[in-house]
Amino acid sequence: MEQRKRPGCSDGLGYYTSWDKSKENGCIYCGKPATTREHVPSKAFLIEPYPDNLATIPACFECNNGFSNDEEYVACFLDVLKESIYRGYSRSLATTQRLEKNANLKMLLDEQIKVTNGTVQYTFDEKRLCRILIKLAKGHAGFELDYISFDDSDIQIDYDFVFNMSEADIDRFEEIPQTNLFPEVGSRSCMTPYIVQNISTGESAAFMFWNEVQDNQYRYQVSYNSSGGICVKIVIFELLYCRVDFD
């Protein structure tokens, strides 16, 4: 599978955001020297056959492996919750296989998601979920806009399940933001056809489209927020809607 690379990364630019075996790289998550490349999003949220051309970023060995347990938990939790809520939806083969191999995780999910008389009750480990959502958002912001942040204190995270959201909430979330702030030259977004010019006024505006990584599995959008920070929106399994702001 060919890996999608963030271009424009010679001369030190992209040290943390573009994996290149022939040069030194830094881990996008912790800043230490990176020895591995990681997919964004992680394959834990995708199903086979995987999409071609998945984005990759540099990560150190510890970070690359240190998120796997929580990613497995989040992916399985969301898939089993989706199956419990939506009639006609069945968990993926990947989820079935993961739970067959991991009895502790299966037990945990049996505790956390209960269906009685057609009513679904659920609880989840918010810390593990947020850890993974922030990690995914950092990967997208790094890959798309060459943005890095090792300080988690400036991060705001907001998420909900689609069945708890009103139509207005969903519309607001789905909106394609228009911005006059242009990404840095060399960042990948400069190369996507999203700059639109108004014929009557001659003004240019930038639109940040959704990146559909895999149908019904994963999509994301990276844009600038109203305070000039970066906003990453992620939809996992068309169930969890999440917004992470880096200010």
User: Which residue, 63 or 236, has its beta carbon nearer to Zn ion?
Assistant: 63
User: Which residue, 151 or 167, has its beta carbon nearer to Zn ion?
Assistant: 151
Give 59's strand partners. 36
Interface region with Zn ion, contact rule CB under 5 A, candidates 58-66, 146-154, 156-164, 196-204: 58-66
232 binds Zn ion (CB under 5 A): no
User: Which residue, 25 or 223, has its beta carbon nearer to Zn ion?
Assistant: 25
Would you state the structure tokens that stand for residue 224, as one six-digit string?
């600038």
Would you state the structure tokens that stand for residue 50, as one six-digit string?
């995987």
63 binds Zn ion (CB under 5 A): yes
C-alpha span between 21 and 9 (Å, rounded): 13
Residues in Cβ contact with 171 at an 8 Å cutoff, skipping those fewer than 6 apart: none
57 binds Zn ion (CB under 5 A): no
206 binds Zn ion (CB under 5 A): no
CB crowding 131-141: b at 16 or more within 10 Å, else e: bbbbbbbbbbb
Q: State the DSSP H helix or E strand holding residue 38, giving kind and residue range, or none if neither.
A: strand 36-40
134 binds Zn ion (CB under 5 A): no
Interface region with Zn ion, contact rule CB under 5 A, candidates 9-17, 48-56, 60-68, 101-109: 60-68
Interface region with Zn ion, contact rule CB under 5 A, candidates 26-34, 45-53, 68-76, 171-179: 26-34
Report angle CA 133, 148, 54 to the nearest 5 degrees.
60
Q: Site for Zn ion (CB under 5 A): which residue of 13, 30, 105, 155?
A: 30
105 binds Zn ion (CB under 5 A): no
Q: Site for Zn ion (CB under 5 A): which residue of 15, 19, 29, 246?
A: 29
Interface region with Zn ion, contact rule CB under 5 A, candidates 4-12, 56-64, 92-100, 164-172: 56-64
45 binds Zn ion (CB under 5 A): no
Nearest to 217 by CA among 96, 50, 70: 50
C-alpha span between 79 and 77 (Å, rounded): 6
Give 121's strand partners. 114
133 binds Zn ion (CB under 5 A): no
Asked if omega into 33 is within 30° of 0 (cis), the reply is no
Would you state the structure tokens that stand for residue 150, as one six-digit string?
């090792």
Q: State the DSSP H helix or E strand holding residue 74, giving kind and residue range, or none if neither.
A: helix 68-85
28 binds Zn ion (CB under 5 A): no
Q: Site for Zn ion (CB under 5 A): which residue of 54, 60, 113, 208?
A: 60
46 binds Zn ion (CB under 5 A): no
User: Which residue, 105 or 155, has its beta carbon nearer to Zn ion?
Assistant: 155
What does the binding site for Zn ion look like in residue numbers (CB under 5 A)?
Answer: 27, 29-30, 60, 63
